[in-house]
Amino acid sequence: KFMDSLASTALIKPFIRKNKIDLSEYEPARYRSFNEFFIRKVRPECRPVAPEGLIAPCDGLLSVYRATDDTVLPVKQSLYRLPALLGSAERAARYRDGWVFVFRLCVNHYHRYCYAEEGDKGTTRFIRGRLHTVRPIALEQVPVFTENCRACTEIVTERFGTLTQIEVGAMLVGRICNLHSGECHVLRGEEKGFFQYGGSTVMLLVERDAIAAPEALLDATANGVETPVRIGEAVAIGDK
């Protein structure tokens, strides 16, 4: 409630200074709360959508993993497998030997996200979970991604098969705000939704052979390096 209040605007300027946010990238606006500022809109010319390849659905720090039956995905010191993440072994089987793109957002990142490709969107499944802090002291006992809420959306596309895009909310992002929860046709780069205040994560699951192996990203991930990306940027080339 405080972050939605007029009084919270006092936090905006210190937040900009601390996180070195370049306001010239964003549409000018008068903010009536910190949350309004937090979900500020970027100028379209500052985040162009690449015409080819699979695009990043958000700004963030990217890691990429091959999805096998034995793959355990480490994200924010949490470990999990795809069936637990998706709440379904059957849904997870679609992505066996495919790819998992993990985009980690920090508080200084742009917190609106888009659809990674044009296609027919299914009904968004919201998997409720108990919200836990992402601080390491809590992670010693609680695996974040099996406890936190997830919004899972399947998108049937011509170029990349069936994608599943997942938004994950931590304690400071109790509200994952998707603009459309029902079935519809969506466009590449079209805004999907936004996160309220706090760090969070977007995940993109891609079927086997739908894209060329992103070797540079895989090597970086294997070496523990996250790759900075921006919304609309091509992160893999399609094979289909």
| Residue 8 appears among annotated catalytic residues | no
Give dist(CA 60, CA 124) in Å, integer: 22
To which residue do tokens 């909310």 refer? 169
What is the number of helices (H) and of strands (E) in the chain?
A: 7, 16
Annotated catalytic residue, options 8, 33, 78, 200? 200
Sequence-ordered alpha helix ranges (H) in 47-114: 82-86, 89-93
- Is 59 catalytic? The answer is yes
Q: Of the residues 33, 59, 63, 78, which is catalytic?
A: 59
Q: Measured between alpha carbons, how far is 42 from 173 in angstroms, rounded to an integer?
A: 20
Q: In a 10 Å sphere around its CB, with 0-12 CB exposed, 13-18 middle and 19+ buried, how is residue 197 labelled? A: buried
Per-residue tokens: 152: 């899972």
Cβ–Cβ < 8 Å for 61, 104: yes
End-to-end Cα, the chain, rounded Å? 47
Active site positions, annotated: 59, 200
